[in-house]
């Protein structure tokens, strides 16, 4: 069990709040782990994945014996490492006779396992096996394009799930605006069958096309591999509902504007006042004054009649 950390100072409290789940998430970090036994192919796969995400990833090379993601209680070590490194994406590699070259891709929420996808790696080609102009190599931290080819990504639930995890794994930080000149890579995923996906990593070469939109050419730079879907673990409904919360956008108020100098300004519309049709009550102060003056004049005229000169 992971011990619950209770902050004893304001500084510690602020530090824990940085690791807490947020409505608007920043870039996600990836944790790369080795199992009890790994093959040479799997070591190369994990090394290439770390190379692609080295600006936002943590890699442990030590073997881990107690990690069994799909067994009850076997995910405790994964949750501990996720909490220790503040990583919400997990890549775990293991090799056995029953499941050779096994790769587990997982996501966490609040440092608890959210979902898992297990795939087998086949027909792997590393980055070092490709020969190309090194000037075309994608830059560190650049945003990638994604191309998912095949109807199985829309009809097969397992491939839908795999698509979501791959997008989360490689897309990086979510941004509002994107400069086309800064996009220099693309991940192409082709659904060969309902259980197999061919994935390759390509660099983008922009060439003149005679129009404002450049012509694009793909240069394969690696790695490339076949991902054979094996086991899945879908998120629990209660955890999924909690993780899918979004920030409430403030409703736009009518006739209200903000000015940098005057601050918040508002317009108030008043209907036309029909003064001629307004009914005046007898308790109006102005009428009381007129009555007093009329009574005073009446009393004065009576005195004049009683005391004639």
DSSP string, 157-217: HHHHHHHHHHHHHHS-S--S---GGG--EEEEEEEEETTEEEEEEEEEEEE--SSSSPEEE
Q: Give the pair of three-digit tokens for residue 219.
A: 């240069």
- Would you state the pLDDT for residue 244? 81
For residues 250 and 140, the answer to whether their CB atoms sit within 8 Å is: no
Between residues 15 and 146, the one the model is more confident about: 146
Query: What integer is the mean pLDDT of 24-37?
Result: 84
Paired strand residues for 193: 196
Q: Give the pair of three-digit tokens for residue 283.
A: 């308790």
- Would you state the pLDDT for residue 91? 95
Check whether the bond before 223 is cis (ω within 30° of 0): yes
- Would you state the pLDDT for residue 300? 67
- Would you state the pLDDT for residue 306? 58
Query: What integer is the mean pLDDT of 122-147?
Result: 88
Domains of the chain: 27-236 (3.40.50.10480)
Query: What integer is the mean pLDDT of 89-96?
Result: 94
Give the separation between CA 132 and CA 110, rounded to whole angstroms. 42
For residues 137 and 221, the answer to whether their CB atoms sit within 8 Å is: yes
pLDDT band of 42, cuts 50, 70, 90: very high
Q: What tens digit of pLDDT does each residue of 158-214 get? A: 999 999 999 999 988 777 787 777 788 999 999 999 999 999 999 988 888 888 778
Cα 265 versus chain centre, distance: 33
Which 3 state secondary structure label does DSSP give 151? coil
Give the separation between CA 219 and CA 200, rounded to whole angstroms. 10
For residues 211 and 222, the answer to whether their CB atoms sit within 8 Å is: no
Which 3 state secondary structure label does DSSP give 4? coil
- Would you state the pLDDT for residue 308? 53
- Would you state the pLDDT for residue 196? 95
Q: Is 230 exposed, middle or buried (0-12, 13-18, 19+ CB in 10 A)?
A: middle
Smallest Cα–Cα separation from 222: which of 142, 105, 123, 147?
123
- Would you state the pLDDT for residue 272? 81
For residues 127 and 119, the answer to whether their CB atoms sit within 8 Å is: no
- Would you state the pLDDT for residue 21? 65
For residues 161 and 203, the answer to whether their CB atoms sit within 8 Å is: no
For residues 55 and 140, the answer to whether their CB atoms sit within 8 Å is: yes
Which secondary-structure segment (H or E) carries 265? Answer: strand 263-266
Residue with tokens 């108020």: 253
Q: Which of 48-52, 149-153, 167-171, 283-287 has the lowest mean pLDDT?
A: 283-287
Cβ neighbours of residue 184 closer than 8 Å, sequence gap 6 or more: 136, 138, 139, 142, 203, 204
Q: What tens digit of pLDDT does each residue of 262-294 get? A: 888 888 888 887 777 777 666 656 556 666 777
Q: Give the pair of three-digit tokens for residue 241.
A: 């509902």
- Would you state the pLDDT for residue 158? 93
């Amino acid at each position: 069990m992971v011990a619950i950390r209770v902050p004893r100072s304001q500084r510690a409290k602020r530090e824990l709040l940085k690791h807490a789940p947020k409505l608007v998430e920043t870039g996600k970090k990836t944790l790369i782990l080795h199992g009890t036994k790994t093959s040479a192919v799997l070591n190369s796969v994990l090394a290439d994945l770390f190379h692609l995400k080295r600006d936002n990833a943590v890699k442990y090379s030590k073997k881990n014996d107690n990690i069994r993601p799909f067994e009850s209680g076997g995910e405790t070590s994964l949750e501990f490492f996720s909490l220790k490194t503040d990583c919400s994406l997990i890549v775990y590699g293991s090799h056995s006779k029953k499941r050779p070259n096994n790769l587990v891709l997982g996501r966490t929420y609040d440092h608890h396992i959210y979902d898992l996808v297990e795939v087998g790696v086949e027909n792997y080609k590393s980055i070092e096996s490709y020969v190309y102009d090194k000037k075309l190599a994608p830059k560190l931290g650049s945003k990638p394009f994604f191309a998912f080819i095949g109807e199985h990504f829309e009809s097969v639930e397992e491939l839908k799930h795999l698509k979501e995890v791959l997008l989360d794994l490689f897309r990086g930080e979510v941004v509002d605006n994107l400069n086309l000149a800064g996009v220099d890579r693309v991940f192409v995923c082709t659904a060969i069958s309902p259980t197999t996906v061919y994935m390759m990593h390509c660099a983008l070469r922009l060439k003149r096309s005679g129009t404002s939109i450049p012509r694009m050419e793909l240069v394969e730079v690696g790695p490339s591999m076949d991902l054979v879907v094996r086991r899945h673990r879908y998120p629990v409904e209660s955890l999924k509902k909690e993780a899918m919360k979004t920030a409430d956008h403030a409703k736009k108020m009518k006739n209200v504007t903000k000015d940098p100098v005057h601050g918040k300004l508002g317009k108030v519309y008043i209907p036309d006042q029909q003064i001629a049709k307004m009914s005046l009550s007898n308790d109006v102060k102005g009428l009381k004054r007129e009555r007093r003056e009329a009574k005073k004049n009446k009393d004065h005229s009576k005195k004049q009649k009683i005391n004639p000169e």
